[in-house]
C-alpha cells in the first residue's frame, strides 16, 4: 500500500522547499499542485484571458493540456508541450494562479491529474486543499504555516538574493492578498483539515523545519 502525505498552508510557508527535501530523504515523489494552477494562470496571461473571468477561463480549459514530468527527481510542468517550469514562477503569475484557482471548473480540471499521482506512489503533495479535498484519506496531513511578516521577510530575502528590486511592504501586501483570496473562495478554500497536524515554523530555520516535518511524517505513517 502506498503512503500519501498532504501538506497545505498559506503563501510562503516553505511548503515546496521543505516537502521536496523530505521527499528526497524518504524516497517519496514530491508533487507541487500550485505549479498546475500557475500553468493555467500563465496560459491565460499569455493569451489575454481575464484570470477572474470564470466563463472565459472555463472556455479556455479545452485548449489547455497540463502535464507533469519528473526529471532527476525534480518536477517539471509542461503546458501544451512546452516546459514552463521557469515562467510560472514570475511574480505576476502568482496572483493569476490564485485568481484562476477560485474557479470551480479549474479545480475540477486538475483533480484527476493530482489524485493520479497518489494511486501507485508514495507521495508528498503540497497545495491548499490536499488534505481537505484532493486526498481526504491521506495517511499524514500537515498544515504548515508561519507568521505572515516572517513569511514575507523570507520571500523578500529570496527575491533580493536573486537580484530583484522589491519593497518589503509590497511583498507583504501581495502575500496577504493572496492568502485572503485562497482562504475566502467558495470552492476548496485553504483551511486546516480537522485531522491535520499544525506545524508552525516561525521560530525554526530550514533544517529545523525539515526535521520537524520529517518526524511528523515518520510518526504518523509508522515508518
Ligand atoms: O503554492 P503556490 O503559491 O505555487 O500556488 C499558487 C496558487 O495556486 C495559490 O495562490 C492558490 C492556488 N492553489 C490552490 O488553490 N490549490 C492548491 N492545491 C495549490 C495552489
The model's confidence at residue 62, banded by pLDDT at 50, 70 and 90, is very high
Does the beta carbon of 37 lie inside 6 Å of ligand 1? yes
- pLDDT (average), residues 7-12: 96
Q: How do strand 29-32 and strand 140-145 relate by DSSP bridges?
A: unpaired
- Tell me, using a 6 A CB cutoff, whether residue 154 lines ligand 1: no
Q: Ligand 1, closest atom to CA 130?
A: 18
What is the percent of the chain with per-residue pLDDT over 90, rounded to a whole number?
93
Task: Give the rounded percent of residues in the chain with a pLDDT score beyond 70.
Answer: 100
pLDDT recorded at residue 72: 80
Per the CB < 8 A criterion, the answer to whether 4 and 139 are in contact is yes
For residue 74, pLDDT over 90 is answered with no
Region 156-181: what's the mean pLDDT? Answer: 94
Report how far residue 187's alpha carbon sits from residue 102's, in angstroms, rounded to the nearest whole number: 7
Q: Considering the entire predicted model, what is its pTM? A: 0.95
pLDDT (average), residues 152-160: 93
Under the banding of pLDDT at 50, 70 and 90, the label for residue 5 is very high
Would you say the CB of residue 101 lies under 6 angstroms from ligand 1? yes
Residue 127 C-alpha to ligand 1 middle, in angstroms? 6
- How remote is the CA of residue 174 from the centroid of ligand 1, in Å? 14
Look up residue 216 and give its DSSP letter.
H
CB of 209 closer than 6 angstroms to any ligand 1 atom: no
Q: How far is the CA of 219 from the centre of ligand 1 (A)?
A: 27
In this prediction, residue 71 carries a pLDDT of: 87
Q: Is 185 in the pocket of ligand 1 (CB under 6 A)?
A: no
| Res 73 pLDDT > 80 | no
| pLDDT, position 173 | 97
CA distance 7 to 16: 9
**Average pLDDT score over residue span 132-140:** 98
Amino acid 131: pLDDT = 98
- Which residue's C-alpha cell is 499521482? 117
pLDDT tops 80 at residue 93: yes
Q: Cβ distance 86 to 73 under 8 Å?
A: no
d(CA 112, CA 187): 16
Overall average pLDDT of the 128-136 stretch? 98
182 lines ligand 1 (CB under 6 A): yes
Give nearest CA residue, ligand 1 atom 16: 128
- Ligand 1 in contact with 97 (CB < 6 A)? yes
At 151 the pLDDT is 97
Task: Identify the pLDDT of residue 140.
Answer: 98
What does the chain come to in residues? Answer: 223
The mean pLDDT of the chain is 96
Q: Are 28 and 124 in contact (CB under 8 A)?
A: yes
Ligand 1 center–CA 99 separation, angstroms: 10
- Alpha helix segments (H runs only) across 62-167: 91-101, 104-120, 148-161
Residue-level pLDDT at 130 = 98
Amino acid at each position: 500500500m502506498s503512503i500519501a502525505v498532504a501538506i497545505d498552508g498559506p503563501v510562503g510557508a516553505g511548503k515546496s522547499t521543505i516537502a521536496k527535501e523530505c521527499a528526497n530523504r524518504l524516497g517519496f515523489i514530491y508533487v507541487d499542485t500550485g505549479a498546475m494552477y500557475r500553468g493555467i494562470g500563465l496560459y491565460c496571461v499569455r493569451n489575454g484571458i481575464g484570470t477572474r473571468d470564470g466563463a472565459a477561463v472555463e472556455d479556455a480549459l479545452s485548449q489547455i493540456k497540463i502535464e507533469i514530468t519528473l526529471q532527476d527527481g525534480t518536477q517539471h510542468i509542461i503546458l501544451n508541450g512546452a516546459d514552463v517550469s521557469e515562467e510560472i514562477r514570475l511574480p505576476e503569475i502568482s496572483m493569476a494562479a490564485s485568481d484562476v484557482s477560485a474557479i470551480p471548473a479549474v479545480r475540477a480540471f486538475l483533480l484527476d491529474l493530482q489524485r493520479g499521482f497518489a494511486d501507485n506512489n508514495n507521495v508528498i503533495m503540497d497545495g491548499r486543499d490536499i488534505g481537505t479535498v484532493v486526498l481526504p484519506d491521506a495517511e499524514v496531513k500537515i498544515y504548515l504555516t508561519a507568521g505572515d511578516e516572517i513569511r514575507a521577510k523570507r520571500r523578500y530575502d529570496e527575491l533580493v538574493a536573486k537580484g530583484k528590486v522589491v519593497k518589503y511592504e509590497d511583498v507583504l501586501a501581495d502575500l496577504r492578498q493572496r492568502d485572503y483570496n485562497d482562504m475566502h473562495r467558495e470552492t476548496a478554500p485553504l483551511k486546516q483539515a480537522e485531522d491535520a497536524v499544525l506545524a508552525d515554523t516561525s521560530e525554526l530555520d530550514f533544517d529545523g523545519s525539515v526535521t520537524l516535518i520529517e518526524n511528523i511524517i515518520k510518526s504518523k505513517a509508522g515508518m
